[in-house]
Chain A
Amino acid sequence: MDFTFSPHHIALRRMLREFCEEELRPRAKRLDQTGQPDREVLRQMGELGLFGVPFSQKYGGMGAGETGYCILMEELNRVCPSTATIIGAHIGIGAMSLYLDGSEALKQKYLPAICAGRHIAAFGLTEPNAGSDAAGIQLRAVPEGDSYYLDGQKMWITNGPIADVVMVLAVTDPALGARGGATVFAVETKWDGFSVGKPEKKMGLHGSPTSLLNFDGVRVPKENVVGQLGLGFVTFMKTLDIGRVSLGAATLGGAQAALETALRWVKVRSQFGRAIAQLQSIQFMLADMATDVEALRSLVYRTAWLVDNGQPFIKEAGMCKLLGSEIASRCIDRALQIHGALGLSRDFHLERGWRDARIAEIFEGTNEIQRIVIASELLQEVGVRIRP
């Protein structure tokens, strides 16, 4: 056993901490208020290599592995969940599906631009009739000559309005449907027939734009098929499995930020003639938060290690997402409680953190789905197969 981070990961975190504190923190509030991603900060992130952290340097990535990527997500989400979400959709699911299953030629075609941040990626799975039950997708891809023509809609697509390339799951064989008849396509958003709906108005993550995507006979060349024809569902599920680890890391950053904020406040806020840090009810909230954060940290980085070492991780990844999202929501809610009315003020950042945290219990597979994933892995170990 060795719980020590490698020197390169420690150095990476040091750089990220400085970037987040100096560049991102001053902008986080404005991102929330305007709902517009900050192009300048995205440009800087591109220069630092933050758009390709887990990917091989062969494709222009940073080569920092899943552990490095988790460090990135933890640090970003500690300061600005909207920016973390842009990166999460870009790297963790958008580019990841291409990285996992794409052909060498297709990876060479898109990954260098994706890793440099010149191309923003997105992940197109959800449809009006397909959410947690992804098998219900209807977006059609019809072959003609050396191309496919895509018709249909995707919704709730993170990065939709700013994406340059979207990995889209489409039905190529309606008889087989999602299981064996769905395929992933890398679609450039500048192609004819592609359009973006209005950005969704959301409770939180205002700085991370989300929208509907329309595909109106978009012509996609056959070489843009990601992975094997008909096995797109498998590619997407694999992608989501790995994405849950870094999502857990992001929630860790959120929970950590809540604890730090609370610790700063309890020192300076006085009631009944002493700092509220001296009140046991406050101390207990802090102790529970610190305990949860420490447990989550151990779980997340152990799971990242499983990924980096090629060991099975699906159950643990679900755990990272499930436990992480609930711990983050709980910690931020407690931090808000500790701040009293100030916690509710829109001049202070906690109410934004509170709004931003809630989605982690829903996206990339609701927590109810995570419980099915975990229970099914657990029961499989004792020889029982379950149906969702």
Chain B
Amino acid sequence: MDFNLSEEQVMFRDLFRDFAEKEVAKVAEHTDKAEAPPLEVLQKAAAQGFLGATFPEAHGGAAMDQFTYGLLLTALARQCASTAVTVALHTSLVGMTILEAGTEAQRAEYLPRLAGGELGAFALTEPEAGSDTRQLQTRAVLAQGGFHFDGVKTWVGNGGPAGLFLVFAATDPARRQDGISAFLVDAAAPWLVVGHREPTLGLRGLDVRTLYLEGGPLPEAARLGPLNGGWALAEQAQARFKLALAAISLGVAESALDLGVRFAIERKQFGTAIAQKGALQAYFADATTEIEALRHLTYYAAWLADQGQPFAAAANRAKLLGARIAKETANRMLQVHGGYGFSDEYAISRVYRDSRALRILGGTDEFVRFLIAQDVLQDAGVAIQP
């Protein structure tokens, strides 16, 4: 066993924190109020190599392992959850799917663009397909000139600013999940219409859109992975995204605790700083305990991924625990703030709203629990269905 970060990981962690504190922190409130991603900061992140964190250097990336990339997301989320999720969607769902399933030509074309600051968006969810994406309504039909599309995608994060969309559509609807393919679509495609900006409770800096796909053609060369092999790509992408969300949850919980502790030191009641009150100390103790457990479970899952071992089971657990702990910590720390916590003037209210999304984004708590139960029951020899 060795729980030390490597020298390189320590260097990166410090670099990430530095960047997040200098660049992200100051725009976090504005990002939330303006309900728009901090595009300037994201360009600076791209210049640092953070938008191609896990891509090979040959494709303009920084060649980080999953573990180090997780440290990046935690550092970003500690200042601004919206920004961290923006980067995670771009990297875990879009970039890494191209890296894993793309042809050499596709990698060479798209990865440098993504690493250079063009955002990626992942279009899987549909009005009728949330946790259950086995039967997609969006169709892609091969006709003259390439694929022609017809359908609607909802809850597409980064939808507004994205330059590249990874779209999933049914190419053989009768075969359900075995008839889904993945496509890389430029935002400039005239038949792709970016629609309604979803107003949200939290993560307001994340640009969430409805996407209309009405026509074509998309050249066959823009299909990602095998024909009718899209479902597996979506599953792998979502497992990676859960790992990313665990790292983000960790950052959100850390930021909430940090805000709570700082407030409690400043705020005086009954003649002492409220940090001296046993009841509040118990909140801090519980929060930091849970955060520490989450940290090491998240690290473990990322380490498994880097070892090339199956990591989905650990990532599911870390995702579920992360969402719960981020939400619970933000809730307790809002309570520590008293009335101030309810004010938009204090960052904790934003962190609290943001934390709520983590129990839904990337798989609802309920669906993730099902996946975990499926895993433990499989070990015991029982197969279950959602």
Q: Chain A: residues with CB nearer than 8 A to chain B?
A: 1-6, 67, 259, 263-264, 266-267, 275, 277-278, 280, 283-284, 286-288, 290-292, 294-296, 298-299, 301-302, 305-306, 315-316, 318-319, 322-323, 368, 370-376, 378-379, 382, 384, 386-387
Find the residue from A3, A286, A305, A372 having the highest chain B CB count within 10 A.
A3
- For A278, the chain B residues whose CB sits under 8 A away are 384-385
B340 within 8 A of A: no
> Whole-angstrom distance between the alpha carbons of A258 and B297 in the complex?
20
The answer, yes or no, to whether B32 is at the interface (CB within 8 Å) is: no
B-side interface residues, number (CB < 8 Å): 53
12 A-B pairs with C-beta separation under 8 A: A2-B303, A3-B1, A286-B377, A287-B368, A292-B321, A294-B300, A295-B293, A298-B296, A305-B1, A373-B285, A374-B289, A382-B262
Q: Which of B282, B285, B374, B385: most chain A CB closer than 10 A?
A: B285
**B299 interface hit (Cβ, 8 Å):** yes
Q: Assuming the A-B contacts A1-B6, A298-B297, A322-B289, are A291 and B381 also in contact, with contact meaning beta carbons closer than 8 angstroms in the complex?
A: no
- Of chain B, the residue at the smallest CB distance from A263 is B380
Number of A-B residue pairs having CB atoms within 8 Å of each other in the complex: 156
Known A2-B1, A379-B261, A386-B281; contact A298-B380, beta-carbon cutoff 8 A: no
Contact B296 A299 (CB under 8 A): yes
B90 in the interface, Cβ–Cβ < 8 Å?
no
Beyond A287-B370, A295-B297, A371-B286, is A1–B3 a contact (Cβ under 8 Å)?
yes
Residues of A within 8 A of B3 (CB): 1, 302, 305-306
Q: Complex Cα distance A240/B374, Å?
A: 39
- Closest CB in chain A relative to B294 CB, distance in Å: 7
Contact of A323 with B293 in the complex, beta carbons under 8 Å: yes
| CB-based contact A296/B293 at 8 Å | yes
B6, B297, B320, B375: residue with the most chain A Cβ atoms closer than 10 Å: B297
The stretch from B43-51, B79-87, B152-160, B270-278 touching chain A is B270-278
> Chain B contacts of A264 at CB under 8 A?
380
Interface residues in B356-384 (C-beta closer than 8 Å to A): 366, 368-377, 379-382, 384
Task: Name the A residues within 8 Å of B6 (CB-CB).
Answer: 1
B314 contacts chain A at the CB level, 8 A cutoff: yes
Which chain A residue shows the least CB distance to B287?
A378
A378-B284 contact, Cβ under 8 Å, with A290-B372, A295-B293? yes
Within 8 Å of chain A (Cβ to Cβ): is B11?
no
What is the bound-complex CA distance between A353 and B360, given in angstroms? 35
Give the residue name and chain of the B residue nearest to A319 (CB).
B289
Contact B275–A386 (Cβ < 8 Å): yes
A253 to chain B, nearest CB (A): 17
Would you call A267 and B380 a contact (CB within 8 A)? yes
Cα distance A293–B372 when bound, in Å? 12
List chain B residues, Cβ under 8 A from A294: 297, 300, 314, 317
Which of chain B's residues have a CB closer than 8 A to the CB of A287?
320, 368-373, 376
User: Which residues on the B side are within 8 Å of A371 (C-beta)?
Assistant: 281-282, 285-286
Q: Are B321 and A295 in contact (CB under 8 A)?
A: yes
By a CB distance below 8 angstroms, the chain B residues around A67 are: 1
Do B369 and A284 touch across chains, with their CB atoms under 8 A apart? yes
CB-defined interface of B235-267 with A at 8 Å, one 1/0 digit per residue? 000000000000000000000000001100100
Residues of B close to A280: CB separation below 8 A: 370
Q: Quick one: which of B5, B278, B320 contacts A372, CB cutoff 8 A? A: B278
Further 9 A-B residue pairs, CB within 8 A, beyond A295-B293, A298-B296, A368-B282:
A1-B5, A6-B1, A259-B376, A264-B380, A287-B370, A294-B314, A305-B1, A370-B285, A384-B275
Q: How far is the CA of A302 from the CA of B295 in the complex (A)?
A: 11
Q: Is B14 an interface residue (CB 8 A)?
A: no
A5 and B1 in contact, given A283-B373, A375-B282, A386-B281 (Cβ under 8 angstroms)? yes
Q: Does B288 contact A (CB under 8 A)?
A: yes
- Given A259-B376, A278-B384, CB of A323 within 8 Å of CB of B276: no
Contacts of B144 in A (CB 8 A): none
Specify which chain A residues have a CB less than 8 angstroms from the CB of B371 in the assembled complex: 287
| Interface presence of B2 (CB below 8 A) | yes
Q: What is the 8 Å Cβ interface bit string for chain B, positions 294-324, against chain A (1 contact, 0 not)?
A: 1011011001100000000010010011000
Closest A residue by C-beta to B67: A1
A316–B376 CA distance with the chains assembled, in angstroms? 28
Is A375 within 8 A of B366, CB to CB? no
A298 to B289, CA, bound (A): 12
A-chain residues with CB within 8 Å of residue B290 when the two chains form the complex = 323
User: B366 and A284: CB pair below 8 A?
Assistant: yes
| B351: min CB distance to chain A, Å | 18
CA distance A322 to B300 in the complex (A): 21
CB distance from A70 to the nearest CB of B (A): 11
B292 within 8 A of A: yes
Question: Are A286 and B373 also in contact (CB < 8 A) when A4-B1, A278-B384, A379-B261 are?
Answer: yes
User: What is the chain A residue whose CB lies nearest that of B262?
Assistant: A382
Q: How far is the CA of A278 from the CA of B384 in the complex (A)?
A: 6
CA distance A302 to B317 in the complex (A): 18
Distance of B19 from chain A, by nearest CB (Å): 22
User: How far is A264 from B375 in the complex, measured between Cα atoms in Å?
Assistant: 14
Is B4 in the interface zone, CB < 8 Å from A? yes
Chain A contacts for B4, CB-based, 8 A? 1
Contact in complex: B261, A382 (CB < 8 Å): yes
Contact A290 B384 (CB under 8 A): no
In the complex, the answer to whether B1 meets A283 with C-beta atoms within 8 Å is no
What chain A residues lie within 8 Å of B370 (beta carbons)? 280, 283-284, 287
C-alpha spacing A309/B262, complex, angstroms: 32
Q: Provide the residues of chain B in CB contact with A286, threshold 8 Å.
A: 372-373, 376-377
State the CA gap A118–B2 with chains docked (Å).
35
CB distance from A348 to the nearest CB of B (A): 18
- On whether the beta carbons of B303 and A3 are closer than 8 Å, the reply is yes
CB-CB < 8 A to A318: which residues of B?
285, 289
In the complex formed, the residue of A with least CB distance to B273 is A384
In the complex, are the beta carbons of A263 and B376 less than 8 A apart? yes
Q: Which residues of A contact B377 (CB under 8 A)?
A: 263, 266-267, 277, 283, 286
In the complex, what's the smallest C-beta–C-beta distance from A275 to chain B, in angstroms? 7
Which residue of chain A has the shortest Cβ distance to B302 in the bound complex?
Answer: A1
Q: In the bound complex, do residue A323 and residue B285 qualify as a contact, i.e. CB atoms below 8 Å apart? A: no
- Nearest 8 CB-CB pairs, A to B? A283-B373, A375-B281, A371-B285, A298-B296, A287-B372, A287-B369, A374-B285, A319-B289
In the complex, residue of chain B having the shortest beta-carbon distance to the beta carbon of A387: B276
CA A91 to CA B380, docked complex, whole Å: 35
Given the interface pairs A1-B4, A263-B376, the reply to whether A378 lies near B292 with Cβ below 8 Å is no
Tell me which residues across on chain A come within 8 A of B381, comparing CB atoms. 267
- Nearest CB of chain B from residue A52's CB, rounded to whole Å: 22
Query: Is the Cβ of A283 less than 8 Å from the Cβ of B297?
Result: no
